Structure 1
Amino acid sequence: MSEQPSAEPGAEVLAAFEAAKGFMPVGEGLALYAAAAEAGKLGLPLLEVGTYCGRSTILLADAARRAGTVAVTVDHHRGSEEQQPGWEYHDPTVVDPEVGVMDTLPTFRRTLRKAGLEEHVIAVVGRSPQAAKVWGGELGLVFVDGGHTDEHATNDYEGWAPKVAPGGLLVIHDVFPDPADGGQAPYRIYLRALESGDFEEVSVTDSLRVLRRLPA
């Protein structure tokens, strides 16, 4: 049973989001939630590429819960390039001491449990291109926030953008037109989406871009 959709998360969900480990600022999180609430009206799954520890998953899961659908989150949970040892975003608390590599899956599961949203999420543990190849249905929303190299961003775009249903939303994070502000791979797939003629821009909130798939 779905609830009346809301463009804003409740206080408890917002508090869980703010408490979760991750990098998304609150303003961009609120924009993501509004997009998920709108896309949820299509009754289709809401999917994100790049789970990390579940900060943004909380928002998608609550929007999916309200809409009577489900959030799907895809990640291998070994960390992206900039999260490896010696890099800016490395966090030693999410390294598996037994094998010596990153493993954000346990933290992610705790994040969802604390937020009370486990049952509204399907966690796909694996590589995005492999998951995209076996995903057969349409999606109400695709949120691209995975690896930020050209290879990974391109794979995420090519694998998942075609699965956005007409009227559904493609959301891309860390879009920086100015190279001085950040990496350019997400910006390049954002431009590619617009140039394809398949998407129109809906909103811009800092580095978060929301695009809608046009009717065929």
Structure 2
Amino acid sequence: MNASLGSSAAGVPAPWPAARLAMAGMRACAVITVIDLLLVGAKYEDRVGWVTHDAPAVAVLGFLAALIELAAPLNTVLVATGILWALTALATAVAFLVWLVRAARNADRLNGRPRRAHGWAIGGWLIPVANLVIPYRVVQGVNAASAAGPGPEPAPVGRWWAALLVTFPLVVAGAVCREGVVGYEIGGQQLRDTRVLAYLLWAVAAAAVWYSAALGRKVVRRITEAQATRTHQSAG
């Protein structure tokens, strides 16, 4: 790994600092998502008990709600967790874009030819509809250019991008359902009727976030390792 910290053949440092920040951010987002899932479930059980006087369907969530309420209002904890997730996701996105720009430059200097280079590494995310394809092509191009020749296994860019495309609508749907609970838009019998569906949606969305974050870390790590390997070979 020490060789990974060297500079590229053209004097551009291998993008390990940005890579590490991006990978840490992805991991943090996944962990906070799971924590948020438990908190929203606790809030759901708390509301069902308050509105219908039913016993919690998931006892551990009812206990968690009561435990949190001893320290702070559950709504306040939920809002704080949501803000923490948003800030972490923003910091992760910035770190990832910094990494991608540097990785694209390195790929060019290592005689690779990414199909969408430096400008598209950021701009491609900002074009509606086209941003469903351009970022994937950028990362895949950098991956192909970086992995040329012997070295680490190519990154699973296709699986990562497919996971992201599935994860986004699941997260949006989960957020809408969450607002119905936290924002008190769902009440009475509807709380009972939608409990299983809501828990299933939140669990699937959290699993999708976890899976896409794991693949994202693998993409960043393998591309950076491939560039570091070629850098070391060039220096040798």
- Looking at both structures, which has the greater relative contact order when contacts are Cα pairs under 8 Å and sequence separation is at least 6? 2
Q: Which has the larger radius of gyration?
A: 2
- TM-score where L is the length of structure 1: 0.25
